[in-house]
Amino acid sequence: MAIVSAAFSNRWSRTEHVVSTAQTLDIDTNLFSEFYGTKYYIQAFNEANNLYKSLELIATRQGSEVSDSVFGKIGDTIDMEISFNISGSSAVLTVTNNESFPVSVVLTKLN
């Protein structure tokens, strides 16, 4: 049982980013030819304003296109855009901060 648990935990990765005011930032990049789908858990927050938001995004490849679905949004309203697109030979998860303050973003990804 411990081997299965350890193997499963190695499939998750976590990164942290700070997205400045009016900035667009690529927070995850995947080689499109090797991408078939992934699940992201995204936490966005600004501690100075006491704002916190969480959501789940599933991205999949459909032929030569990618699609995503955001669901499970909970928490405060933080004006930010999250998109998953093709850029050159990569599939990229992008965050745009539309707030007047920086937003910290923690990305947890199921590989």
Predicted pLDDT at 98: 97
CA proximity to 105, closest of 12, 11, 9, 24: 24
Report the C-alpha gap between 59 and 106 in whole angstroms: 17
Fold classification of 12-110 (topology level)? Immunoglobulin-like (2.60.40)
- pLDDT of 68 above 70: yes
Predicted pLDDT at 72: 87
Please state the domain extents for the chain.
Answer: 12-110
Report the C-alpha gap between 102 and 109 in whole angstroms: 22
Residue 55 Ramachandran class (φ > 0 left, ψ -120 to 50 alpha, else beta): beta
- pLDDT of 5 above 80: no
Q: What value does the mean pLDDT of the chain take?
A: 90
**For 7-59, what is each residue's pLDDT tens digit?**
455 688 999 999 999 999 999 999 999 999 999 999 999 999 999 999 999 99
Which residues, in sequence order, are bridge partners of residue 53? 44, 75
- pLDDT of 2 above 60: no
Which residues, in sequence order, are bridge partners of residue 66? 61
Predicted pLDDT at 9: 59
With beta carbons less than 8 A apart as the criterion, state whether 106 and 43 touch: yes
Q: Is the pTM of this model over 0.75?
A: yes
Which residues, in sequence order, are bridge partners of residue 93? 28, 84
